C-alpha cells in the first residue's frame, strides 16, 4: 500500500503548499505536526541537511523544500496537472515562485519579527512594492485579468505557491501598523485571492488570518519576555 506522510507546522505557508498540492491531486496522506522549537528525531532523520519542514515522505523516501515537493507531487500522481505544460510557462511559474520566497515573504515576514526600529518602515514599503509587482505579473499572465488564475484558466503551481501567504496579510498589517489596500490598489490580486479561497483544498488547508495573527502575537510576547 502506498504511504504518504507530511511533516509540517500549521502556521507555515510552505507546509500549506504541500498539503494543497496533495488535496488538489486527491492523494491521501498522513500529517504530522512539528514543533519547530523542539524538532522530532524523525524530522532530523528525514531532513538532516536543513533540518526544517515541510517534508514529504513517499513510501519511506523523503523529499524536501516546498517547491521541489510540489513538482514531485505533480510528476508522481497524474490525476490532474499542476505545472504548466509548456517549458516557457513552467520557467515563468518557477521564477515567480522564487520571487515569492526570496523577496516577498523574506521582506514581509520581517514585519512580524521587528517590533520597533526604523527598518520597519522599509519593510512596509517593500511589502507594498512587491504586491504591486505581483499585481503586474498577474495582469500579464491572466490576459489583463480575463483569466482567473496565474496559470490561466486552471488553478495550478504558481497559485499554490502564492496563496498560502494571503493568510499572513492581516499579521503583516498588525505588526507593521499599516493597511494593505488590496481592493483599491491591487484589484486583480484581491479578486484572485477571493477565487482561491473558494476552493475546497484551500478551505481545508489554510488557517484563518485571525488564527495566524493570534499565533504571531503569542510569538511576539514570548520573544519580548525572553529579552
Measured between alpha carbons, how far is residue 100 from residues 76, 103, 118, 121, 160 in Å?
25, 6, 24, 20, 11
Mean per-residue pLDDT for 60-88? Answer: 96
Position 118 scores a pLDDT of: 60
**Among residues 127, 62, 71, which one has the least CA distance to residue 94?**
71
Partners of 32 in the β-ladder: 7
Coil, strand or helix: which one is 7?
strand
Q: Is 43 exposed, middle or buried (0-12, 13-18, 19+ CB in 10 A)?
A: buried
Q: Scan for cell 478551505, then name that residue.
A: 203
The count of C-alpha atoms lying within 13 angstroms of the C-alpha of 33, restricted to the half-sphere facing its C-beta, is 4
What pTM value is reported for the model?
0.94
The rounded Cα 72 to chain-centroid distance in angstroms is 17
Strand intervals (E) in the chain: 4-8, 30-33, 55-58, 61-64
Mean per-residue pLDDT for 55-82? Answer: 97
Domains of the chain, earliest start first:
4-76 (3.40.30.10), 87-221 (1.20.1050.10)
Phi, psi of 111 (to 5 degrees): -60, -35
Partners of 64 in the β-ladder: 55
Sign of CA dihedral 180, 185, 188, 191: positive
Q: What is the pLDDT of residues 97-151, one digit of tens each?
A: 999 999 998 888 777 665 555 678 888 999 999 999 999 999 999 989 899 999 7
Amino acid at each position: 500500500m502506498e504511504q504518504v506522510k507530511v511533516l509540517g507546522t500549521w502556521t507555515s505557508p510552505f507546509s500549506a503548499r504541500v498539503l494543497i498540492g496533495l488535496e488538489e491531486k486527491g492523494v491521501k496522506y498522513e500529517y504530522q505536526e512539528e514543533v519547530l522549537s523542539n524538532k522530532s528525531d524523525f524530522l532530523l532523520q528525514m531532513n538532516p541537511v536543513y533540518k526544517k519542514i515541510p517534508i514529504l515522505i513517499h513510501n519511506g523516501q523523503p523529499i524536501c523544500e516546498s517547491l521541489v515537493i510540489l513538482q514531485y507531487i505533480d510528476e508522481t500522481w497524474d490525476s490532474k496537472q499542476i505545472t504548466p505544460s509548456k517549458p516557457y510557462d513552467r520557467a515563468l511559474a518557477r521564477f515567480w515562485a522564487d520571487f515569492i520566497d526570496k523577496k516577498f515573504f523574506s521582506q514581509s515576514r520581517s514585519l512580524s519579527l521587528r517590533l520597533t526600529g526604523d527598518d520597519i518602515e522599509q519593510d512596509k514599503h517593500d511589502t507594498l512594492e512587491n504586491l504591486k509587482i505581483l499585481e503586474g505579473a498577474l495582469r500579464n499572465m491572466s490576459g489583463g485579468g480575463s483569466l482567473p488564475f496565474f496559470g490561466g484558466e486552471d488553478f495550478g503551481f504558481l497559485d499554490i505557491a502564492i496563496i498560502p501567504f494571503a493568510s499572513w496579510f492581516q499579521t503583516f498589517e498588525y505588526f507593521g501598523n499599516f493597511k494593505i489596500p488590496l481592493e483599491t490598489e491591487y484589484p486583480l490580486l484581491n479578486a484572485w485571492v477571493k477565487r482561491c479561497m473558494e476552493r475546497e483544498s484551500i478551505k481545508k488547508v489554510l488557517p484563518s488570518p485571525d488564527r495566524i495573527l493570534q499565533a504571531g502575537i503569542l510569538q511576539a510576547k514570548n520573544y519580548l519576555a525572553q529579552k
